[in-house]
Amino acid sequence: MSKQVVLRRVQGYKDSMVTSDAWLPPFKEAVDKHVNWKQTGFIHIDSNGFGLACEACRSNKPASIQITLSSNDRFSDPTVLYLGTECCRKGEMYHHFYHFQQHMYQKVKKLVDSVRRKRKESTTEAIFEHLLSKGYVYKLTKNVKKAFNDVVMIYNLQGQRARVDDLSSSEDE
């Protein structure tokens, strides 16, 4: 049930607040396709204001950040894009929510693998207890709440702030 609550909110934020009508379809396709988003450079705009335009949207705003989108398989090539600051910030949040389950899976898998290796724990219960007692579950939960809070703080201008609290009050991690 907790998982469904979180996933519904991820979906809702992704489709309403953390998206843009100005985004071009190729940008969204590239973001949806690649699970990894990395900032790989900055672009200096010269004094004449000459530079690249943001490749994410129709606004013709100057691009200032280079990002590289990549996948974990060997079959798809990375995509390099030049973005304006606002499209970069919002795009990264959209990307995080679009790939939320995959990102969470990767993080948890890494933790579980390391407990298995280092502590030779083998049962699911022992591994989960370890992650819980060492605060890893708390940390992951906190990151999810922070991502929701960031969206609400930045993009929800209609004042639905109270909605974030009902997740914070849940003790069921």
Binding site for Zn ion (CB under 5 A): 54, 56-57, 84, 87
Nearer residue to Zn ion within complex by CB, 50 or 75: 50
**Smallest gap, in angstroms, from Cβ of residue 87 to Zn ion?**
3
* Identity of the amino acid at 83: L
**Smallest gap, in angstroms, from Cβ of residue 148 to Zn ion?**
24
Spell 109-138 as b/e; 16+ CB within 10 A means b: eebbeebeeeeebeeeeebeebbeeeebbe
DSSP 3-state assignment of 15?
Answer: helix
Nearer residue to Zn ion within complex by CB, 30 or 87: 87
Q: Residue 31: which residues within 8 A CB-CB, separation 6 or more?
A: 37, 69, 91, 94, 95, 98
Read off the DSSP letter of residue 55.
S
Nearer residue to Zn ion within complex by CB, 10 or 84: 84
Nearer residue to Zn ion within complex by CB, 89 or 130: 89
